[in-house]
Structures are given as C-alpha cells and as structure tokens.
C-alpha cells in the first residue's frame, strides 16, 4: 500500500463483499456488521505498518470471523452461566473457506443494499446503515458528514439493525413482486446522500461534499450490478450531470450562482459526456422512469454552450412527461419555470397562482423564489423584491437564504 487514499478505497470496496460473505455464513446481520467494522479498522492500522496481505479480502474475512466468533463464544458463555443453554456448536465457529469472498460477492452487495434500505427504517437510519455497511464509512465519519453527535449516529445504526431484526429482515433478495419498490427505496437513499453532499459543497464542508462522491461510487456499483435497469442508469446519469456543474455552482465565499449565471467553461465535460451517454442509452432501451427524465432535463441544460442556447421547449416537454408519470407540486413548480421561459412570465405566474392553493407549497421558499423571478422578468421590481423577501424568510438553507436576501436587496 503506497498511500492512505488507495488503502481506504480498497477497504471500502471490500467492505460489502466481506460483510456479504459473513452474513451469508452466519446470519446475524447486526453482529457481522460490527465485526466487519472492527476488521476494517484493524486493517487500516496494521497494513500500512506490516504490509498488505496477499489476499486482502481473505484477511478481512478471517479477522472479522475471529471477532464474530469471539463474540459468539462470550455470549455462549454468558448464556451457559445464565441459563445453562448449550454453547454454540463447534461447526459454527469454523472460519469460512478461503475463497468464499469471491462467490456471489456482487449479489451479496445488492442484497446488502436492499437490507440497509429496509422499509421498516426511517430515511436517516437507511442512510446511516447504507454508508456504514455498504460504503464502509465509520460511524464517526458519517456523524461528521451529517453534523450530528457520534453517539446519535451510533444509536441510529444500532436501532436500524434492531428494527431490521424485529421486522424479520433477511439477508436474501426481496421477492420479485417487491423488488421494484425496494429498488426505488435504494435509489432514493442514494439520491438523498448525493444531495446532502452536493448542496453542502459550496462551503468549507469537505467531509460533506465527499458524500456526493460516495453516492456516485455506490450508484456506479449498483449500475454494474443491474446494468439493464433504466432507473439505476438514470439516477447515475442525473448525479453525474449535476456533479459536472460543481465547480461553477458557488463563489469562493460559498454564495450560490444560479444555473443561468454559471461560468460554463468550469463544467466538467467528461462527466457530462458520460451522463449524456448513459441517459441516452437508458431512454432508448429501457422502461421510462422519473430519474431518466430528470437526467434528460439535466442533460439539456448541460449541453447548452451558453444559457441562451438552452432548449426550453424540450425541457418543457420533459417536465410535462415527468408530471404525467410522477406528479407532485414540486414538479409542477419546475414545469412553471419552463412554461415562463417558453411562453413568457405571465403564463408562468398563472400556473404558480394555481399552486399557491397547495398548502405544502404556499410556505415553501422555492415557490416564492420562482414567483419573484417571474415578476422580475415581467418588469415588476417592487413585486419581485417582496417575493424575494418572502422566499428568504421561508428558506432554511443558509446559502439559499443569503442568495434570496441578496436578490431582494439588489432590487431595492
């Protein structure tokens, strides 16, 4: 091992394979997960000093198995002391065969993802468990990234395991009838992780922006496992096409730059090319879904050399499609932006007027920000100023709030 980064990459790639091999053999997802974390930690401490073993996976499985069996022995001893139960049979204390990490390692990773995004868990617990069990991050790293105390994150992880056990979650693939819905939950968790990192990337929160790279890494992994799934491909494309704008989306002081004002020469062409290729392929060959459409919209933006080259009629058509297959007030609000760009601000304001009756949106900063923008386009400076102020008062995201306050002040 030459440097810390490549060691960390290796360990995090091996983490779900090692965990999969253990759970497959022993069951007891929760205990195996703890044992794998300890083995990863031991490797991170020992390998730089003592050299990397010939088979890192085998080493990790052996160490994790030893931790697990130690724990089983001490629990068995405790049970013997407490109520004279028989100890764990010796056969259960034997390490798995050396080549076991290879067999089914990929399927194991997929099964792990499904288990970590179990429907019995809340979104924060699904996220925490996915990052630990599949991503190989430590509890401290996850806690730091989400800005909560480490003790809180440890509780989330152990509670998530408990809930999985209580609800009978098994280390098996969900039955085919449930698979689509379970996969949707996995995609949502990965997208939440991505957004948490991407939207925080403006500031000095490097640990948080790492979350978007981690989400992309895990989604790439999922894409390799399910190359024929259009929505997995769509989500990966959406992440890449969004990540491509990372360098242009904020000033050095962390203040936000809206899409229209971004320096497009800073966009990452390689990511755009990859994202466009992925979404084009998925749209042509798989069942249509909301991530593919959102990726297609991101692709249209990314392919415009200048903001005035943006193909708004195509974006409008895509939003109409998205609203048909996955209707929500937020999608309608996004469509309103495209409507205003194609048919003028009055048409956009009309559509927004209908949305204001929706309670969920009436108190959402984005509705007022969009209305402010339309009023501005229509030449109503005073109205725009008031709407920007209203938007700022409903925003809870600090960079967004500062941006909206600045827009209001500029219109003074």
Partner 1 sequence: MKYMLIIYGNRELWESFSPEVTREAIAAQDAFNKEYMATGELLGAYGLADVVQAKTVAVRDGLPAVTDGPYLETKEFLSSFCLVDVDSEQRALELAAKMPFASVRCVEVWPVLHEAGAEM
The nearer residue to partner 1, 29 or 198, going by C-beta atoms, is 198
**Site residues (vs partner 1, CB under 8 A):** 122-125, 128, 146-149, 152-153, 155-156, 159, 195-200, 202-203, 205, 208, 242, 256, 258, 366, 369, 396-401, 403
The nearer residue to partner 1, 25 or 245, going by C-beta atoms, is 245
3-class DSSP state of 205: coil
The nearer residue to partner 1, 208 or 385, going by C-beta atoms, is 208
CA distance 218 to 236: 9
Query: In whole angstroms, how close is the CB of 148 to partner 1 at the nearest point?
Result: 5
Query: In whole angstroms, how close is the CB of 347 to partner 1 at the nearest point?
Result: 21
Query: In whole angstroms, how close is the CB of 266 to partner 1 at the nearest point?
Result: 17
Query: In whole angstroms, how close is the CB of 117 to partner 1 at the nearest point?
Result: 14
The nearer residue to partner 1, 14 or 200, going by C-beta atoms, is 200
CA separation, residue 5 to residues 8, 74, 122, 145, 412 (Å) = 5, 36, 32, 18, 50
CA distance 283 to 304: 20
Q: Tokens 């949106």 — which residue?
A: 361
Query: In whole angstroms, how close is the CB of 281 to partner 1 at the nearest point?
Result: 25
The nearer residue to partner 1, 63 or 157, going by C-beta atoms, is 157
Q: Tokens 């994790």 — which residue?
A: 64
Torsion of CA 116, 196, 216, 9, to 10 degrees: -80
The nearer residue to partner 1, 109 or 130, going by C-beta atoms, is 130
In order, the DSSP letters of 228-243 are: T-HHHHHHHHHHHHHH
Query: In whole angstroms, how close is the CB of 203 to partner 1 at the nearest point?
Result: 6
Identify whether the C-beta of residue 316 lies closer than 8 Å to the C-beta of residue 335.
Answer: yes
The nearer residue to partner 1, 173 or 377, going by C-beta atoms, is 377
Query: Which burial class, exposed, middle or buried, applies to 321 when counting CB atoms under 10 A from its CB (0-12, 13-18, 19+)?
Result: middle
In order, the DSSP letters of 316-357 are: HHHHHHHHHHS--HHHHHHHHHHHHHHH-HHHHHHHHHHHTT
Name the residue among 280, 286, 323, 320 with its Cα closest to residue 302.
280
Query: In whole angstroms, how close is the CB of 10 to partner 1 at the nearest point?
Result: 29
């Amino acid at each position: 091992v030459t440097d810390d980064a490549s060691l960390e990459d290796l360990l995090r790639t091996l983490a779900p394979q090692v965990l999969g091999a253990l759970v497959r053999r022993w069951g007891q997802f929760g205990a195996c997960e703890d044992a794998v974390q300890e083995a990863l930690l031991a490797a991170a401490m020992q390998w730089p000093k003592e050299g990397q073993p010939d088979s890192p996976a085998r080493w990790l499985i052996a160490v994790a198995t030893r931790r697990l069996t130690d724990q089983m022995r001490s629990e068995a001893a405790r049970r013997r002391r407490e109520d004279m139960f028989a100890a764990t049979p010796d056969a259960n204390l034997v390490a798995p065969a050396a080549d076991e990490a290879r067999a089914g390692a990929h399927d194991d990773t997929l099964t792990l993802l499904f288990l970590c995004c179990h429907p019995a868990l809340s979104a924060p617990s699904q996220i925490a468990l996915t990052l630990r069990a599949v991503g190989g991050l430590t509890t401290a790293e996850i806690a730091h990234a989400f800005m909560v105390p480490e003790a809180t994150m440890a509780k989330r992880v152990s509670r998530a395991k408990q809930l999985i056990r209580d609800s009978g979650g098994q280390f098996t693939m969900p039955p085919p009838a449930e698979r689509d819905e379970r996969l949707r939950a996995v995609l949502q968790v990965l997208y939440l992780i991505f957004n948490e990192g991407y939207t925080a990337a403006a500031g000095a929160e490097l640990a948080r922006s790492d979350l978007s790279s981690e989400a992309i890494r895990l989604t790439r992994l999922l894409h390799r496992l399910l190359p024929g799934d259009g929505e997995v491909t769509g989500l990966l494309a959406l992440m890449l096409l969004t990540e491509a704008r990372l360098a242009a989306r904020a000033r050095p002081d962390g203040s936000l730059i809206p899409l229209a004002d971004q320096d497009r020469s800073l966009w990452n062409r390689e990511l755009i090319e990859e994202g466009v290729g992925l979404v084009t392929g998925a749209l042509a060959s798989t069942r249509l879904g909301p991530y593919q459409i959102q990726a297609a919209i991101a692709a249209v933006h990314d392919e415009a050399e200048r903001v005035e080259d943006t193909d708004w009629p195509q974006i409008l058509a895509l939003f109409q499609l998205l609203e048909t297959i996955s209707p929500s007030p937020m999608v309608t609000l996004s469509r309103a932006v495209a409507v205003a760009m194609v048919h003028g601000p009055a048409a956009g304001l009309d559509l927004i007027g209908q949305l204001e009756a929706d309670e969920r949106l009436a108190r959402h900063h984005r509705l007022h920000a969009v209305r402010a923008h339309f009023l501005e386009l229509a030449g109503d400076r005073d109205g725009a100023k008031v709407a920007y102020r209203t938007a700022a008062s409903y925003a809870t995201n600090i960079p967004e709030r500062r941006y909206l306050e600045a827009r209001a002040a500029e219109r003074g």
